[in-house]
Amino acid sequence: MDGSDCAHPPALLRPHHLIIEVGIGMPHQKSLYPPIPDIDIPNYYDFVTGLEHFKSLPDYTLFIDGLTGEKRRLRAFFERVDACATALASEEAVGGLNVLANPNEIVGIFSENSMVRPTPFFQTKHMPTSEQEWPTLVYSCLKIGVPFALLPAYSTAAEFRHLLKTSESTRLFVSPSVFETALTVAREVGLPEDRMYVLQGRVPGRTSLADLIQNTRIRGLPTIPSRRIHSNHVACLGFSSGTSGLPKAVMISHKNLYYSLMQTVTIGREFAKVATPPPPNTPEGVPCAVAFMPFYHVTAFHLCMMRIFTPPCTIVILPRWKLDTVLDALQKYDVTNFGLVPSMAHEFINSPRFQTTDFSKVASFMSGAAQLPLEHRKAILERMPHVQFGMAYGMTECTFLSLATLHRGLFPGRFNEHQMLTMTGILLPGCEARIVREDGSEAGYDERASCSCARWC
């Protein structure tokens, strides 16, 4: 949703979800879950780090490079976020970027997933050997209230030109593999070259994020405090899939991110009332997931960056989907949470390794983005009968899920076994839906119709 058909400016939209509930048959539905508290937040960063749950977290392994095994712990990550936010906000006279001076700044991120060994010009022996700069930059921007744009890294030059112009990015952080494409397009649209930086790795003659962070440490610059903003302030721009035309920039507010996180929290609280799941069978007792979907996509952005502290989760980062590499990582790093889109699930189920891989530590399996055929659901449950199986649907505009199947034990007596296996899902917390005819009027019971938004929740 780009806001062009809205009654209010996109930056002031309330957190929203486009939703539908399948199988109930009523024209207007509300979620079965309790409502999400409507509160003001200073910004998403402060909300998350201010939670008592977050404050009590152990210094667990937050990120693992799936190819090299290098790790980054929670405290080290947030120390780097502090240094990065300071680099972004400090004045140019001391080597910062002074991004707060321009209220229209939008930081574009154009990079694939990766953890790399930074090689700044002034590397020291105290510098970490490997960093994951994608989430570092994201949380830094959230801390100081500067919007950022998630720019698909595998775009052609023509596609990137559209993304850059649509997002109105004023600065770019780019990976070396796509730097030439970014540079060519930046020159075409008039973005100054001195506003382009290397996100991770090294491009000769270009300043990297690692350089900026290290500069703050060498100079001993005071840590920039977080910036309180209106909770409906735009946090980031995500791009829709473009199935009905060129991708549109979706404005996502800090309050949107809050509601999205609170969906998970609300469901977890309800499940805790009816069941006590066993602790994860991992070395640190923390769930573990694999990030092979691109961070610029709404799914990986939320599941592998926004929702990794409540509850805590270790993220194994891979540059892209490759079945054998993913399955190797699944076994090597004791992955407990595994999720695929249907096309990946098809390859997974038909691979010889589907029958030979040890899935004993996988506790949950999730499919999303499209309908997973019933035969595939049955195959997964036959091979992994112990897992909590689920499916979820959403859109970039939904920030990001609208409905999902439910954990066993919730809403006892309401859904039978056949419905649990075949349902599309139920509305997530904070969601409402209408079932409408083609002319927009509300449909009656058991009438074939379509979904429409009833309320921005």
Report which of 105, 44, 42, 414 is spatially closest to residue 405, judged by C-alpha positions. Answer: 414
Residue 157 lies in a domain: yes
pLDDT > 90? residue 448: no
pLDDT at site 361: 95
CA separation for the pair 3, 6 (Å, rounded): 5
In Å, how far from its chain's centre is CA 221?
A: 30
CA separation for the pair 133, 116 (Å, rounded): 9
Report which of 14, 116, 297 is spatially closest to residue 305, judged by C-alpha positions. Answer: 297
- What is the domain extent for residue 229? 75-249
pLDDT digits (tens, 9 = 90+) for 293-349: 999 998 999 999 999 999 999 999 999 999 999 999 999 999 999 999 999 999 999
Contact in structure between 309 and 58 (CB atoms under 8 Å): no
pLDDT band at 104 (very low <50, low <70, confident <90, very high): very high
**What CATH number has the domain bearing residue 111?**
3.40.50.980
| Total tally of structural domains belonging to the chain | 1
Residue 227 lies in a domain: yes
Percentage of residues in the chain having pLDDT higher than 90: 72
Contact in structure between 289 and 311 (CB atoms under 8 Å): no
How far is the CA of 221 from the CAs of 54, 88, 128, 217, in angstroms?
A: 26, 12, 19, 7
Q: Which amino acid is at 289?
A: A
Q: Which amino acid is at 381?
A: L
Query: How high is the mean pLDDT of the chain?
Result: 88
Which contiguous run of DSSP H or E holds residue 270?
Answer: helix 254-272
pLDDT at site 192: 98
pLDDT at site 352: 97
Residue 83 lies in a domain: yes
pLDDT digits (tens, 9 = 90+) for 14-71: 333 333 333 334 446 889 999 999 999 999 999 999 999 999 999 999 999 999 999 9
DSSP assignment letter at 64? E
Angle ∠(103,108,110) on CA atoms, nearest 5: 175
Residue 373 lies in a domain: no
Which contiguous run of DSSP H or E holds residue 368?
Answer: strand 364-368
Angle ∠(269,270,273) on CA atoms, nearest 5: 90
Q: Which residue did the predictor score with more confidence, 139 or 17?
A: 139
pLDDT at site 20: 33
Q: Which two tokens stand for residue 389?
A: 């199986």
Residue 230 lies in a domain: yes
Residue 221 lies in a domain: yes
Residue 239 lies in a domain: yes
Least confident of 73-82, 90-99, 174-183, 272-281: 272-281
Contact in structure between 30 and 427 (CB atoms under 8 Å): yes
Grouping H, G, I as helix, E, B as strand and the rest as coil, residue 329 is helix
Least confident of 170-184, 422-436, 439-453: 439-453
pLDDT band at 359 (very low <50, low <70, confident <90, very high): very high
Least confident of 22-26, 278-282, 384-388, 419-423: 22-26
Please enumerate in sequence order all residues whose Cβ is within 8 A of that of 186, keeping only pairs 6 or more positions apart, or say none: 164, 172, 192, 193, 195, 196
Beta-sheet pairing, 432-436 with 426-427: unpaired
CA separation for the pair 198, 163 (Å, rounded): 18
Mean pLDDT of 107-136: 65
Residue 348 lies in a domain: no
pLDDT at site 443: 79
pLDDT at site 19: 31
pLDDT at site 131: 62
pLDDT digits (tens, 9 = 90+) for 240-250: 876 667 889 99
pLDDT digits (tens, 9 = 90+) for 362-372: 999 999 888 89
Please enumerate in sequence order all residues whose Cβ is within 8 A of that of 188, keeping only pairs 6 or more positions apart, or say none: 161
pTM over 0.85: yes
